[in-house]
A and B are shown apart, each in its own frame.
Chain A
Amino acid sequence: MNRLDALRGTTPPKPHDARAIAALAANPGCARRALLDGAGIDKDATARHLGFPAPFGQSPFAITRGNAFEALVKADGCAELLRMLRELLELPVAEVAYHDVENVGAHLRHAHTRALFDRAARDEHDSGTIYDHPLLGLEIAGHIAYLEPDVVAFQLGGRFHIVEIKSFAVVDGQADPAAVAGAARQAAVYVLALRRMLRELGHDPLRVAHDVVLVCPENFANRPVATLVDVRRQLAVLERQLSRMTGLDRLVEGLPEELTFDLLPGEDGLPTRPAAELADALRRTTARYAPDCLSTCDLCFFCRDEARQEGACDLLGRQVRDELGGVASVEEALGLADGTRAPAEGQEEIARLLRNAERLRRECLA
């Protein structure tokens, strides 16, 4: 068993889906997160067991709406999707085949996906095909992660496009930039997985377009609209993050031999590990908390609590932390500002700035 598996222990691994892989780049400087992700640990379950459940819930209305929208786009063999692809890609698509890979048994789906794409890539005169629910795999830290097949791929003349269906609205040509960014990161995962598969099959990986087709509801209606999104930047980031995963060994080496984040699930699957012990184990790894984690990481409340205990300036955000130069703790910063603490070597300037700021605040608030 390798060291990463040992960190997870007897708890079953949480498979990486596209969303999780896309999130690898959310805070690459955080060693704690890198280790948990690398070991395939269920961060959500861990956070819940620690008493710091993640603040991410999804409304049933949003889920229903998302499903209804996807069903609408895919209805009648993706008729609506096809209409948009014709318009958007200016394709002379006369007849398009529709393959739902899901109809194949789950264990065969990946192999079947490979065969289908191999055939399509070989036959450049093939007419257009829409592949629904293809199962793609991507190697993450030595393990193959099978990506949730909630994606559609489109192929014409041996060129492939990833289609991402999302239920946030595009109003007058604009959409929430954070939502689009999230969609682009996820789509990039599929683009990369498909490219790697084509390469393995001996085809040119660049036959998968870096422009993905984003399908969203238009304005306030349910009618879908398709937009091309260039994901080259997201692809570059993703490849960088995946190659970093191999650097986990270095992180693991520094850890105590016996360290594990095992939840010790009982027969009912519920964790039996004492929460305090698990918290202690986690604290042996270094987190890099920033308030941005509150929207990207399941463990955020645990790490924020830790930062509070430590009185860390990180609580106030990356910008404040950066502005304070090397001063990491609130107490230290205030001590320098009040002049009750002598600046350590290299702190002379921030001390001078803080003292000056303190003088000005006192003067103005007197």
Chain B
Amino acid sequence: MSSPEQVIQDVLADLPRHRGVVVDSPPGAGKSTLVVRAAAHIAATGEPLMIVAQTNEQVDDLVTRICERHPDLTVGRLSAGGYVPPLRLLELSGVTVGTRVQDLGDPDIVIATADKWAWISGRTWPWAIVDEAYQMRSDKLLRIAALFDRALFVGDPGQLDPFSIVDGDRWSGLSWDPLQSAVSVLLRHNPDLPVHRLPVSWRLPASAAPVVSRAFYPFTGFRAGTQPHERRLELSTGGMGTVHDRALEEAARSGWALLELPNRHTVRTDGEAVEAVALLAARLLQRGAVASSEQGERPVTAERIAVGAAHRDQVAAIRNAGVPPEITVDTANRLQGREYDVTIVLHPLSGRRDATAFHLESGRLCVLASRHRHACVVVARAGIAELLDAHPSAEPVQLGVPVKFPDGWEANQAVLDHLAAHRV
């Protein structure tokens, strides 16, 4: 495998040679760093650049990163009418916020969401960077592709695929199927474009990178950027031997823990599981976890903890169960692209009698299992192995649609196998 620096050099070298360049980035592999590097690289040529991200948070994040790293660059932040920029953005010099391109002056870089870009016309940019391109639906790319001559597409192929509330079967098999991701459609029409892969996850610890790589990136793979001893999670107060304490201790020691509840079919908002999740979160704060890493030592405060679940009603139930308010509690969809020190996950298949395609979607579990820098605690009812075993395989097959890997079943099995060794 090439070094990450070599990959970035290759990407930058490819930019002028091809109309499009794709970079696959597994969780925490330095995607944002690459975007910032590429942006500065292009800006240095003196040619204007547009950047496309998917959500306002992602846009604000990129603006901040670019300005902090390259204070000499001027950045225009395009937004919709109702958008209120966060304070940190307004404090940055070199940033202009506006709803129209002409309000921004003539900055080196203009950044907006794909939705906002779709309303812009009458001007083109020689360069574009499209971030989170695997989460972007191809119909969105269709609306903005005329704005740029060349583009760098960056994203994580292992996360959740875009979706629609309507049935899109009539377009299946078409190379421009609007429900496919921007990258799939781009590559089907331009199969010769170079695809690079960032090989190292700087986020996932050595305990997690191989597991996530094997389960969700079976053909490409990546490795951890740190050695096992470089990441440490310590609980500064002693435990009381409860199952929750032991789960936290196991997670601190090994990077993973599976808190297994008795096998039972439950409603989605399984009270016992919800309570266990909430308790773990509260207890983690109480026990004063401290994370040491190549970035130094810091307490694991509430902002550094996230709780993830599959459904919105589960998220609401967990919130109501008394999780400290500063801790992020959200669905996999909304946790995409975010990073924490410790995550607590309610397993999507916990308490289910039958697995649906939604529950088995590999991207969902991948997001939940790859947000952490130190440890991930999974709460699940026993019986998931039996559920997977009994899962009927009758997925319909559409002609002309490339098969997507990994298969959700296999990915779930792989993660479950790994967690079994960390059961408390």
Direct contact of A and B (CB under 8 A): yes
A residues apposed to B, CB below 8 Å: 25-29, 170, 173-175, 177-178, 180-181, 184, 214, 227, 229-230, 232-234, 236-237, 244, 288, 290, 292, 296, 318-319, 321-326, 346, 348-350, 353
User: From residue B235, how far is it (CB to closest CB) to chain A in Å?
Assistant: 31
Q: Does B403 contact A (CB under 8 A)?
A: yes
Query: Contacts A180-B397, A230-B403 hold; do A326 and B265 have CB atoms under 8 A apart?
Result: yes
Residues on the B chain within 8 Å of A326, using CB: 264-266
Assess whether A288 is in contact with B265, with CB atoms less than 8 Å apart: no
Assess whether A227 is in contact with B400, with CB atoms less than 8 Å apart: yes
Residues on the A chain within 8 Å of B402, using CB: 230
Closest 3 CB pairs of A and B: A29-B390, A177-B396, A325-B267
Residues on the A chain within 8 Å of B354, using CB: 290, 318-319, 321-322
Contact of A177 among B264, B398, B409 (CB under 8 A): B398
Assess whether B399 is in contact with A26, with CB atoms less than 8 Å apart: no
Assess whether A26 is in contact with B267, with CB atoms less than 8 Å apart: no
Chain B positions 357 through 388: 1 when the CB is less than 8 Å from some CB of chain A, otherwise 0: 00000000000000000000000000000000
Assess whether A322 is in contact with B352, with CB atoms less than 8 Å apart: yes
Separation of A349 and B320 alpha carbons in the complex (Å) = 14
**Residue among A229, A244, A323, A346 with max Cβ neighbours from chain B (10 Å):** A346
Chain B positions 17 through 54: 1 when the CB is less than 8 Å from some CB of chain A, otherwise 0: 00000000000000000000000000000000000000
Query: Contacts A26-B392, A29-B392, A325-B267 hold; do A173 and B173 have CB atoms under 8 A apart?
Result: yes
Assess whether B392 is in contact with A346, with CB atoms less than 8 Å apart: no
Assess whether A177 is in contact with B392, with CB atoms less than 8 Å apart: no
Residues on the B chain within 8 Å of A346, using CB: 264, 266, 272
User: From residue A102, how far is it (CB to closest CB) to chain B in Å?
Assistant: 29
Q: Does B410 contact A (CB under 8 A)?
A: yes
Separation of A60 and B66 alpha carbons in the complex (Å) = 70
Contact of A292 among B172, B272, B394, B395 (CB under 8 A): B394
Chain B positions 331 through 358: 1 when the CB is less than 8 Å from some CB of chain A, otherwise 0: 0000000000000000000011110100
Separation of A318 and B392 alpha carbons in the complex (Å) = 11
Interface of B is mostly: loop
Besides the known contacts A180-B396, A292-B392, A349-B271, 11 further A-B residue pairs in the complex with CB atoms under 8 A apart: A25-B392, A28-B389, A175-B399, A237-B409, A244-B389, A296-B394, A322-B265, A322-B353, A323-B268, A346-B272, A349-B267
Assess whether B410 is in contact with A236, with CB atoms less than 8 Å apart: yes
Residues on the A chain within 8 Å of B392, using CB: 25-29, 292
Count of chain B residues with a beta carbon within 8 Å of a chain A beta carbon: 35
Q: Does B393 contact A (CB under 8 A)?
A: yes
Q: Does B169 contact A (CB under 8 A)?
A: yes
Separation of A230 and B264 alpha carbons in the complex (Å) = 37
Assess whether B403 is in contact with A233, with CB atoms less than 8 Å apart: yes
Assess whether B394 is in contact with A26, with CB atoms less than 8 Å apart: yes
User: From residue B281, how far is it (CB to closest CB) to chain A in Å?
Assistant: 20
Query: Contacts A322-B354, A325-B266 hold; do A173 and B396 have CB atoms under 8 A apart?
Result: no
Separation of A237 and B389 alpha carbons in the complex (Å) = 10
Residues on the A chain within 8 Å of B267, using CB: 323-325, 349-350, 353
Q: Which residue of A lies closest to B266 (CB)?
A: A325
User: From residue A217, how far is it (CB to closest CB) to chain B in Å?
Assistant: 13
Q: Does B99 contact A (CB under 8 A)?
A: no
Q: Does B292 contact A (CB under 8 A)?
A: no
Separation of A153 and B402 alpha carbons in the complex (Å) = 23
Residues on the A chain within 8 Å of B271, using CB: 348-349
User: From residue A249, how far is it (CB to closest CB) to chain B in Å?
Assistant: 15
Contact of A173 among B400, B403, B405, B410 (CB under 8 A): B400
Query: Contacts A28-B391, A244-B389, A322-B352 hold; do A181 and B399 have CB atoms under 8 A apart?
Result: no
Residues on the A chain within 8 Å of B272, using CB: 346
Q: List 27 contacting pairs A-B, 8 Å CB cutoff, sorted by A.
A: A25-B393, A26-B392, A26-B394, A28-B391, A29-B389, A173-B173, A174-B172, A174-B400, A177-B172, A180-B397, A180-B398, A180-B399, A227-B400, A230-B403, A234-B393, A236-B407, A236-B409, A237-B409, A288-B390, A322-B265, A322-B353, A323-B267, A323-B268, A324-B267, A325-B266, A326-B264, A350-B266
